[in-house]
Structure 1
Amino acid sequence: MAATVSPIANLKLLNHRNYEDWSFRVKVYLLAEDVWDLVEATTEPPKPEDGEVAFKAWRKNNAKALLAIQTSCGDDTYPIIEGITEAKAAWDALAEELKPLSSSDSEEGILILDFIFSFSCMVTVLLSPANNTMTQTGHNNNDESDVRYAPLYDSLKRGDWNAAKEFIDRHPEALTHRGSSSSGTALHEAIERKQLHIVEELLKLMTEQDLEIEDDLGFTAFFYALEKGMAPIVTSMVKKNEKLVTMRFTDAGGMTPVLFAYCLGHWEIARFLYPRTPIQLLTENNDRCDGAELISSSLAQRNKLDIGWDLIQKYPELALTTDYFGHSPLNALAGFRSAFPSGVPLRFWQRWIYNNIHVQQPQPAPINSDVCVNFEELEDDKRNRRDLISSVTGFFQGVVKNLLKLSGIHDLHEMRLHHDRILQILRLMCYVAKRTNLDLKQTTFMQKAIFRAVERGHVEFIKEMCKANPGISLMMVDESGRTIFHYAVECRQEKVFNLIYGLSEYDRNAILARAYEFNNTILHAAGSLSAHLNHIQGAALQMQRELQWFKEVESIVPPSCLEIINVTEKMTAREVFTKNHKKLVKEGEESMKGTATSCTVVGALIVTIMFATAFTVPGGNDQDKGFPIFLRKKFFRVFLISDSISLFSSTTSVMIFLGILTSRYAEDDFLMSLPTKMLLGLFTLFLSIAAMMVAFSSTLLIMLEEESWVSIPIILLAGVPIASFLWMQFPLFLEIFKFTYGRGIFDKKCRAWEQNPDYVV
């Protein structure tokens, strides 16, 4: 069997003229390999002391990206990045050296090139046989040709069709002439300069065969029209020569025109070319399949699923066919984070709206039916928007539409529509996975897709695959011997791990007791430092979540697993956990102490102020009896109560934060003790600030009783500190409360999955 060639090896090497095209294609490749974020990063890369797992992951991705960039450089451009060890630095160095000039500089460059061209023509004339008898015959044929056709190309540059037409009438062969200076025909030149009116006129004069002429780079004029997104020109050229849609671009990775247009983002052109492209051209299963790549590319576009939708309905076997990046559409679908509801974090009110939105989905056509794609029917975003607000007409319809956009409901509706369509596509893909005659490559694709879905937390994907392959998917293992549950623990995907309760007790115990590579158990996986908890705010909460994972897994594994020693580190799972989390414990300690120190200072200031205020009451005291003058007023009593609450709560918060500063910060303290103290400290501090503002407001009402118009705006402004505290600290408070007193790692609701006969393994 021939070795698989990397897709990056098929790209045209970078030179000093093709940077824009090269950078676009390499970027697409790096996106497909999930390493573009590293090249685009604005932060410093991790160092070994920042964590062994994070550093190794960065080093691996950096090597993958750097190798792709180095491999795609030509001999004349590689010296630019020679010796550079970071992919981001290599990318930036190439961009600085080779990126085209700005618009103003480009205009100067064109003038310079025009001057050079004119000068070269003059030199050619001077060196022609008529002026230089020493020049050998035959060495100047191309130069004489360039001089002869120079007026044509000059008129094309100026956009003067009358002059060009006059020249072509006198020299008909100029239509198909390939000049060495322009490297293409007059049609190439006109398209390159976007002279649309000239292109249309040239097409009227040219034959079908003339449109197939290539420039010195091997590209037809049709290629450049696609690249620049010139839809009217593409339409005219295809109508004149329908064979253009079947001609693969050899120097562009061998892509078909429809795939080339789709990858460049020219959606309307791709929709025009798709029905005119022979389906055999898209379903040829060689080293890579254009149809598979079209499906993979369309899955990433929310409202541009029509071509992929039609292809997967007619040819579901494309789901496990190799695309241009060596993967399959099933793998691509498993990797898109926003393709499923589980990959999109929503607030509780957004989740409620999302769950109550009902969208109408078109029914998929019968599998393998000979149905022509209906773009008007499949272009469903406008139609569904009309369905959403069909009860409102005229002016109010526009008002409602704008309100829906401002409130975010419109985006939630689009998201729900996209997720429902993706789910239908996934079920069509699972139609192929049900087959029992899958070859080795297809089985490998399915296995990698499932493990990629585990990494992303796409529980919907795994459930559908389990329905298609009962007894296979959940028990599947990778090359290291890990099941999806071992990998779910390693990636900290609780929704996926909860699927273990869909197994029988025997299978569940067998997986929990299973040791994979180097005698590591599922508890060792829980003891590793995960790189998938970066979304959690603060190192202390990350440490708490890591402890919760370890404790939960520890509570369900057989007792014999607790003392199993792995081969590489000669440690039990608990020892592995302690070793891997030493730095996180230290960072959590510094994080909590920093927060506690700041809050202690604020609390101490409030104590000082409110204590002094208690003895300097508004209005002063009666000189004879010593009682406050406003003692009988209602707002004075509000002042006394709020002042007392503020003083007591701020004092309590100071004591709690001092307790946090003097805690021992052992591993287990991050589980309940420290988070509880932080919750109480933040709550009492907020209460003291709110009570202080109430005391201030009541004092104003007492002092300015006759001037309420002055006091009311000031009282409203007093609510700003309360609101700002809530805005900045309430998310932290809510997150601590959720992780400490909310549900555990294992959601009991997910255990009902075991009772669903559709999912029983």
Structure 2
Amino acid sequence: MAATVSPIANLQLLNRHNYEDWSFQVKLYLLAKDVWDVVEAATEPPTPEDGEAEFRAWRKNDAKALLAIRTCCGDDTYPIIKGITTAKAAWDVLAEKLKPFDSEELKPPDSEELKPSDSEEKKPFDSEELKPSDFEEETGHNNNDESDVKYAPYLYDSLKRGDWNAAKEFIDRHPEALTHRGSTSGGTALHEAIERTQLHIVEELLKLMTEEDLEIQDDNGSTAFCYALQKGMAAIVASTVKKNEKLVTMRFNNVKDRTPVLVAYGLGHWEIARFLYSRTPIHVLTQDSNGRDGAQLISYCFVHRNKFDIGWDLLQHCPKLVLTENYFGHSPLNALAGFRSAFPSGVPLRFWQRWIYNNIHVQQLQPAPINPDVCVNLEELVDDKRNRRDLISSANIYGFRNAVTGFFQGVAKNLLKLLGIHDLHEMRLHHDRILQILPLVCDVAKCTNLDSKQTAFVKKAILRAVEGGQVEFIKEMCKANPRFTLVTLDERDRSMFHYAVECRQEKVFNLIYGLNEYDRNAIVGTADVSNNSILHAAGSLSAHLNHIQGAALQMQRELQWFKEVERILPPQYLEARNKTEQITARALFTKNHKELVKEREDSMKGTATSCTVVGALIVTIMFAAAFTVPGGNNQDTGFPIFLRKKFFRVFIISDSISLFSSTTSVMIFLGILTSRYAEDDFLRSLPTKMLLGLFTLFLSIAALMVAFSSTLFIMLEGESWVSIPISLLAGIPIASFVWMQFPLFLDIFMFTYGRGIFDKKCRAWE
């Protein structure tokens, strides 16, 4: 029966029958705490006369040792040392009272007498209480070993403290403890050292362990290699793989039975993933688990910026992985199609960002395949060195490379990040690499012997690309297999262009203008299972309106879609009725957009009301200012006193402009308030009124600030240090108006009088 466990380090309590075992455990504990010297000291303890510091140190250590000895005594043995005040005296009294007469004195661990003889190596202790069952009761793990590893807690205590000397001393005496699963998670000492990131201890333990030892798993099915991989300890990963190559093919039970290279890539440990991929047999990724590991790895490569080398090499070995189901039920083709920022068409850029993006030149090189025989330098895999290499690497922007080095290179890189140029370069590099890989991915769709699941993956990928507006992906897929432009892609018999109209993806729909007239008529003449034509799709209320700014623009965009599809549809299809509601596309448009018209009417009226109030205030102010001119009038002639001054003329002109433009603005917004708000009014009439109203209101505000500034210059002549700063502040309202309203103004103008959203001269297929 196992002895009762004390509160300290799981030590058993002393009774009148287990002194030998107890004394050995307590001695090891006191050695680990570095206070055994006060117990075995052969000389008298120091006194205050010997030195205050020395005495205080001895007294502290003696108290620690005495407390440990007393705590480990049971109820029947504690009275033996009750009242004793020093650890050495307590230890000697217990030995005198409880030590068996035939037992030899315990010696320090490095003594020759403590080393087992050849006949005792497999059973270091003679006590009957030291059985594997006792250890099982204490730790909850049973190794079924013949060897006694009951003192394993001392080993793990040393590991927690990072004391390799104490751990090595225990392992030398108990070699079986090296592979014993005694940690809290059921792992070995190596598991514990890696969990606590004790790198120097891990390296020493690896030297002592065999290949088979590295395959020991904890209660969750994780090897020590798995621990190191999840923590990103690259050097340890490389060391363990170097010692046991089978580790790269052992699947991680605690990570959904994934291969190590897949786990490393999913956690973002790129260098470790490349190293493991170079050591992983290709069949493990392409054949085992039905190729899911390889498919998942390629999917990861698509969605991480500039991490294409593994995916590129894997696709060269097995292109069909692109249509293989991964662990999330999709294929890499679906992952690529659904990742909007992987393509230029999926990232909206402002005009200045687009200009920078187009002028960034990226070297057109294919991603280099990974050499399966690569040799990894363990020192180069250390994380801080890897980060340092990443830090000093620079991008080749605008055709020059390595312009500055060291500190200046870092400053330049940070400046580029601040200006956004670095991010644009990374984006351009990512897009170019995707566009280089895309033909290889889409070539798989050329095969005519695809099974039903692969065909479903292809159709689903195209639909996802249409929904996200990934026009580059769709072009490449249709080049690989032109029938995708005509084939129905879903269970509702919708074609690619039918779905593009529903999703309001104008870039995809514009591809229809690149088709010949026969194919175009074939596409627009088709209907889904409910007999909804492509015009019915334009008449449905789109869920993709939230990204459109402005009340008038949303309804205007819907009308433009309907008018454009109506224009290319043959006349015989205009009055076609669907099966579900038996209504035409026009009636469907009116029905679905009734609430939208009402919402946009209320929104535009609210905007017009607010602008009318502002315009009316400016009219009142500027009308009054015209008759209360700066400086007043001459009492004799009635003319303004500052009539001959240049700034007075500026005041009069700006006042007049502000008055007339604000009055015009009020009248225009009154016209918006009294409009009938018919559907067609949102196409051109209301947007035009909104344009003119915003422009005249802006002009009146700008002229108001000019009139105010000119008045200051007149009144504070010679005090420019006051008038100039105040006049500069007058530009803030103008700038704020432009900043908040100019994007809306520009959008309304472009979609009302510009090219619009439909490119009828599209040459996208070339």
TM-score tier (shorter): 0.7 to 0.9
Alignment-derived partner of residue 178 in structure 1: 181
**Are 2:494 and 1:482 equivalent residues in the alignment?**
yes
**Are 2:531 and 1:519 equivalent residues in the alignment?**
yes
**Are 2:130 and 1:143 equivalent residues in the alignment?**
no
Q: Tell me the distance in 2 between the aligned counterparts of 1:657 and 1:590.
A: 14
Asked whether the equivalents of residues 559 and 680 of structure 2 are also in contact (C-alpha less than 8 Å), the reply is yes
CA apart distance, 1:676: 1.1
- The amino acid that maps onto 2:159 is L
* Superposition TM-score, scaled by structure 2 size: 0.77
- Within a 5 Å distance, the mapping from 1:496-511 to structure 2 comes to 496-511=508-523
**Are 2:310 and 1:307 equivalent residues in the alignment?**
yes
Alignment-derived partner of residue 734 in structure 1: 746
SS at match of 1:217: coil
CA apart distance, 1:381: 11
**1:251 to 1:707, Cα distance in 2 relative to 1, 3 A:** closer
Q: Tell me the distance in 2 between the aligned counterparts of 1:721 and 1:437.
A: 66
Alignment-derived partner of residue 12 in structure 1: none
Alignment-derived partner of residue 586 in structure 2: 574
2:563 aligns with one of 548, 551, 554: 551
Alignment-derived partner of residue 601 in structure 2: 589
Q: Tell me the distance in 2 between the aligned counterparts of 1:476 and 1:517.
A: 11
**1:182 to 1:554, Cα distance in 2 relative to 1, 3 A:** closer
1:463 aligns with one of 471, 475, 479: 475
Per-residue displacement from partner, 1:395-415 (whole Å, max 9, x unpaired)? 876665454333323322222
Asked whether the equivalents of residues 285 and 321 of structure 1 are also in contact (C-alpha less than 8 Å), the reply is no
CA apart distance, 1:623: 0.2
Asked whether the equivalents of residues 389 and 397 of structure 1 are also in contact (C-alpha less than 8 Å), the reply is no
Alignment-derived partner of residue 359 in structure 1: 362
Alignment-derived partner of residue 325 in structure 1: 328
Asked whether the equivalents of residues 149 and 174 of structure 2 are also in contact (C-alpha less than 8 Å), the reply is no
Asked whether the equivalents of residues 565 and 572 of structure 1 are also in contact (C-alpha less than 8 Å), the reply is yes
Asked whether the equivalents of residues 288 and 324 of structure 1 are also in contact (C-alpha less than 8 Å), the reply is no
Alignment-derived partner of residue 723 in structure 1: 735
Per-residue displacement from partner, 1:189-208 (whole Å, max 9, x unpaired)? 12222222221111111111
1:433 aligns with one of 445, 467, 476: 445
**Are 2:255 and 1:243 equivalent residues in the alignment?**
no
2:677 aligns with one of 655, 658, 665: 665
CA apart distance, 1:147: 5.0
Q: Tell me the distance in 2 between the aligned counterparts of 1:753 and 1:726.
A: 35
1:194 aligns with one of 194, 197, 209: 197
SS at match of 2:416: helix
SS at match of 2:345: helix
Q: Tell me the distance in 1 between the aligned counterparts of 2:157 and 2:242.
A: 29
**Are 2:631 and 1:619 equivalent residues in the alignment?**
yes
CA apart distance, 1:123: 8.8
**Are 2:422 and 1:410 equivalent residues in the alignment?**
yes
- Within a 5 Å distance, the mapping from 1:56-71 to structure 2 comes to none
Q: Tell me the distance in 2 between the aligned counterparts of 1:151 and 1:122.
A: 13
1:385 aligns with one of 383, 396, 399: 396
CA apart distance, 1:693: 0.7
Alignment-derived partner of residue 219 in structure 2: 216
Q: After alignment, is 724-733 or 685-694 more displaced? A: 724-733
Asked whether the equivalents of residues 203 and 236 of structure 2 are also in contact (C-alpha less than 8 Å), the reply is yes
- Within a 5 Å distance, the mapping from 1:152-301 to structure 2 comes to 152-179=155-182, 181-284=184-287, 286-301=289-304
Higher relative contact order (CA 8 A, sep 6+): 1
Q: Tell me the distance in 1 between the aligned counterparts of 2:13 and 2:560.
A: 80
**1:380 to 1:454, Cα distance in 2 relative to 1, 3 A:** farther
CA apart distance, 1:433: 2.1
Q: Tell me the distance in 2 between the aligned counterparts of 1:342 and 1:552.
A: 22
**1:519 to 1:455, Cα distance in 2 relative to 1, 3 A:** same
CA apart distance, 1:261: 0.8
- The amino acid that maps onto 1:547 is L
Q: Tell me the distance in 2 between the aligned counterparts of 1:124 and 1:564.
A: 96
Q: Tell me the distance in 2 between the aligned counterparts of 1:392 and 1:181.
A: 54
CA apart distance, 1:482: 0.6
Per-residue displacement from partner, 1:665-720 (whole Å, max 9, x unpaired)? 22222111211111111101100000001111111121222222221111111111
SS at match of 2:669: helix
SS at match of 2:761: helix
* Superposition TM-score, scaled by structure 1 size: 0.78
Q: Tell me the distance in 2 between the aligned counterparts of 1:602 and 1:650.
A: 9
1:532 aligns with one of 544, 565, 568: 544
**1:285 to 1:585, Cα distance in 2 relative to 1, 3 A:** farther
CA apart distance, 1:119: 8.3
Q: Tell me the distance in 2 between the aligned counterparts of 1:596 and 1:447.
A: 47
CA apart distance, 1:340: 0.8
Per-residue displacement from partner, 1:630-657 (whole Å, max 9, x unpaired)? 1111111111010011011111111211
- The amino acid that maps onto 1:493 is Q
Per-residue displacement from partner, 1:549-575 (whole Å, max 9, x unpaired)? 111111211222222222222322122
**Are 2:459 and 1:444 equivalent residues in the alignment?**
no
CA apart distance, 1:586: 2.2
Per-residue displacement from partner, 1:314-367 (whole Å, max 9, x unpaired)? 33222222222121111111111111111011112222222232211213679x
**1:701 to 1:634, Cα distance in 2 relative to 1, 3 A:** same
Asked whether the equivalents of residues 295 and 322 of structure 2 are also in contact (C-alpha less than 8 Å), the reply is yes
Q: Tell me the distance in 2 between the aligned counterparts of 1:504 and 1:661.
A: 46
**1:486 to 1:121, Cα distance in 2 relative to 1, 3 A:** farther
- The amino acid that maps onto 2:657 is I
Q: Tell me the distance in 2 between the aligned counterparts of 1:123 and 1:557.
A: 93
Alignment-derived partner of residue 45 in structure 2: none
**1:116 to 1:340, Cα distance in 2 relative to 1, 3 A:** farther
**1:151 to 1:285, Cα distance in 2 relative to 1, 3 A:** closer
- Structure 1 segments unaligned to the other structure (5+ residues): 1-114, 757-761
Asked whether the equivalents of residues 642 and 691 of structure 1 are also in contact (C-alpha less than 8 Å), the reply is yes
CA apart distance, 1:120: 6.8
CA apart distance, 1:502: 2.6
Q: Tell me the distance in 2 between the aligned counterparts of 1:707 and 1:323.
A: 76
CA apart distance, 1:480: 1.3
CA apart distance, 1:503: 2.4
Q: Percent identity?
A: 75
- Pairwise CA RMSD of aligned residues? 3.2
- Structure 2 segments unaligned to the other structure (5+ residues): 22-73, 77-128, 139-147, 381-388
